């Protein structure tokens, strides 16, 4: 999958696509319905399939003081989109200046002049442009005049009658329900980040860990999880991530008076060096809340139990 950080001066093979527009935070089953409809349109037209998205997420621009909320980083989003057969990913920089662009200019300059879009796919409630004045009705009328087709996809409902949404997935994660989040995502939720050097205390008690900062990711319930982890080869290289069973603690490490929020991942039966690598970590099952123990010996004993429980859960599930 080719990734473009702009829409202008793109190669000819990236033009004339069926273009799906959205933030795609989570790339959940609702988003996947858009992608499936777009793929069918692309196959019918013999055109490439493209996604047009925005970074940073508009919410982080207009509500900068909100706590971190992202379900997917750009890198994680790209992995998920590649898995769904997207050929080109256009990532437009979003800031307050961009938000002032009139909806008509967005269509004429970006969708038509830059991308030469043959067909556009959006959700039924998609709004865009200055003051969110662009909508499906505007896209339909401009498409008829400028020569591109439009598909507006109806909302996708969950088994409980709710619309598939990132907000429901966030609630499941904040309340320690990664399996329920995975059902709405269509895959386990993951955190991706560069492995940082910690205090190496885990190594001293027999459980070395790879340490990741959460950054802009949503903070799920603090505690211990059964997880899968693997090095990220990057979407540009077309390689698969090799997943390994692991256990992870997300928290502040109260037993050792830790302060910063950290994801510590212990990969089972792993002896290599991960420092500086980008690691993908998929949360599978919540095991227990984080707690303070009476010293390292008690912590070590509990980690051994956590490892046994995580191994059993992941062995029952089979390879990721």
Tell me, yes or no, whether 6 and 120 share the same domain: yes
Tell me, yes or no, whether 210 and 308 share the same domain: yes
Contacts of 178 (CB under 8 A, 6+ apart): 172, 188, 189, 220, 225, 283, 284, 285, 286
Tell me, yes or no, whether 43 and 104 share the same domain: yes
Pairing of strands 18-21, 49-55: parallel
Tell me, yes or no, whether 278 and 310 share the same domain: yes
Tell me, yes or no, whether 10 and 149 share the same domain: yes
Contacts of 99 (CB under 8 A, 6+ apart): 58, 61, 62, 130
Give the helix/strand (H/E) hosting 169. helix 166-174
Residue 243 belongs to a domain with what CATH number?
2.40.30.30
Residue 255, pLDDT score: 66
Tell me, yes or no, whether 109 and 68 share the same domain: yes
- Total domains present in the chain: 2
Q: Per-residue confidence at 4, pLDDT binned at 50, 70, 90?
A: very high
Instruction: Report if residue 166 sits inside a domain.
Output: no
Instruction: Report if residue 186 sits inside a domain.
Output: yes
The distance in angstroms from the start CA to the end CA of the chain is 23
Tell me, yes or no, whether 145 and 220 share the same domain: no
Contacts of 141 (CB under 8 A, 6+ apart): none
Does residue 175 carry a catalytic annotation?
Answer: no
Structural domain for 259, as ranges: 175-317
**Per-residue pLDDT tens for 13-66?**
999 999 999 999 999 999 999 999 999 999 999 999 999 999 999 999 999 888
- CB atoms under 10 Å from CB of 222, counted, come to 15
Question: Average pLDDT of 97-125?
Answer: 97
Distance in angstroms (rounded) separating the CA atoms of residues 294 and 73? 37
Distance in angstroms (rounded) separating the CA atoms of residues 51 and 24? 9
Select the more confidently predicted residue: 84 or 318. Answer: 84
Secondary structure (H, E, C), 24-61: CCCCCHHHHHHHHHHHHHHHHHCCCEEEEEEECCHHHH
Instruction: Report if residue 159 sits inside a domain.
Output: no
Tell me, yes or no, whether 313 and 180 share the same domain: yes
Tell me, yes or no, whether 102 and 146 share the same domain: yes
Instruction: Report if residue 14 sits inside a domain.
Output: yes
Tell me, yes or no, whether 136 and 263 share the same domain: no
Tell me, yes or no, whether 141 and 183 share the same domain: no
Instruction: Report if residue 196 sits inside a domain.
Output: yes
pTM above 0.75, yes or no: yes
Distance in angstroms (rounded) separating the CA atoms of residues 199 and 270? 19
Check 109, 264, 290, 297 and give the catalytic one: 264
């Amino acid at each position: 999958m080719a990734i473009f950080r702009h829409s202008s001066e793109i190669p000819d093979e990236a033009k004339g696509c069926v273009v799906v527009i959205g933030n795609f935070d989570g790339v959940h089953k609702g988003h996947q319905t858009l992608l499936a409809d777009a793929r069918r349109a692309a196959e019918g037209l013999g055109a490439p399939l493209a996604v047009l998205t925005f970074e940073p997420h508009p919410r982080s621009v207009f509500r900068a003081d909100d706590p971190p909320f992202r379900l997917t980083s750009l890198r994680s989003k790209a992995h998920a989109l590649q898995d769904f057969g997207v050929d080109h990913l256009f990532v437009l920089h979003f800031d307050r200046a961009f938000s002032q662009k009139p909806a008509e200019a967005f269509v004429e300059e970006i969708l038509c002049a830059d991308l030469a879009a043959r067909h556009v796919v959006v959700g039924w409630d998609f709004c865009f442009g200055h003051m969110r004045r662009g909508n499906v009705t505007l896209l339909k009328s401009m498409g008829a005049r400028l020569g591109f087709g439009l598909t507006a996809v109806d909302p996708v409902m969950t088994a409980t009658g709710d619309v598939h949404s990132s907000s429901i997935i966030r609630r499941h994660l904040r309340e320690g329900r990664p399996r329920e989040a995975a059902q709405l995502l269509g895959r386990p939720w993951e955190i991706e980040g560069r492995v940082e050097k910690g205090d190496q205390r885990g190594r001293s008690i027999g459980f070395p860990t790879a340490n990741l900062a959460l950054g802009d990711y949503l903070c799920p319930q603090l505690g211990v999880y059964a997880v899968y982890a693997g090095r990220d080869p990057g979407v540009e290289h077309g390689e698969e991530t090799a997943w390994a069973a692991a256990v992870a603690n997300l928290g502040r490490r109260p037993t050792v008076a830790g302060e910063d929020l950290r994801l510590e991942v212990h990969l089972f039966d792993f002896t290599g060096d991960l420092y500086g690598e980008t690691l993908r970590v998929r949360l599978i099952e919540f095991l227990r809340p984080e707690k303070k123990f009476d010293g390292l010996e008690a912590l070590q004993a509990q980690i051994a139990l956590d490892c046994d429980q995580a191994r059993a859960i992941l062995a029952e599930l089979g390879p990721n």
